[in-house]
Amino acid sequence: MKLTWKPLAAAAVAIVVLIGIIAAVAGKSGAQPKASISAAPPSESPAVLDTWKQAGLTVSAFTPADGKTVGGQCQSGTVGGVDVELCNFADASAAKKAEDRGLSIVGETTGVSIAQGSMLLIAADRRKADPSGRTINQIAKLFRGNSRS
């Protein structure tokens, strides 16, 4: 039995068309992205972000994040390739109580959940950008030294 390229090409075209149809239907499904807290970023956050930048860490844009798990107003981004979430709480005791919930977000990944004043830092190396843990350590030290509330 001799195979020719024509049936294979026809099958490839059919697969591409099918993927296009699925993508078009998915785009029209009306599905909305997950809602996030649209509150203003914590007031201390710009100072923390600037501190990380001044230390030579690459800081992405931070955008509002869903703070339901920890119970605060949060924003997330990356610092030095590490996923970071900053959350603001009504007071220091609420932030301190949220540390364990922050660790549940970190999960099995290398990371930290640290309260400082009314802010909570959650850092997780999900991208494996920090195998030695030095970047997470630097992020945490700078957060502790800069965040005031």
pLDDT for 46 equals: 80
pLDDT for 27 equals: 45
pLDDT for 65 equals: 92
Q: Tell me 71's DSSP state.
A: T
Q: Model's pTM, two decimal places?
A: 0.69
Q: CATH code for 45-146?
A: 3.30.1360
Tell me how far CA of residue 50 lies from CA of 26, 44, 46, 59, 112, in angstroms.
Answer: 40, 10, 6, 9, 20
Domain ranges of the chain: 45-146
Q: What does the alpha-carbon distance between residue 110 and residue 135 come to, in Å, rounded to a whole number?
A: 11
Q: What does the alpha-carbon distance between residue 88 and residue 149 come to, in Å, rounded to a whole number?
A: 10
Identity of the residue numbered 24: A
- Angle, CA of 90, 75 and 63, to the nearest 5°: 145
Identity of the residue numbered 9: A
Identify the residue whose tokens are 């030294």: 145
pLDDT for 60 equals: 96
pLDDT for 21 equals: 44
pLDDT for 139 equals: 96
Q: What is the mean pLDDT of each run of 10 residues along the chain (149 residues)?
A: 51 43 44 37 72 96 92 95 96 96 94 96 96 95 74
pLDDT for 41 equals: 45
| DSSP reduced 3-state for 136 | helix
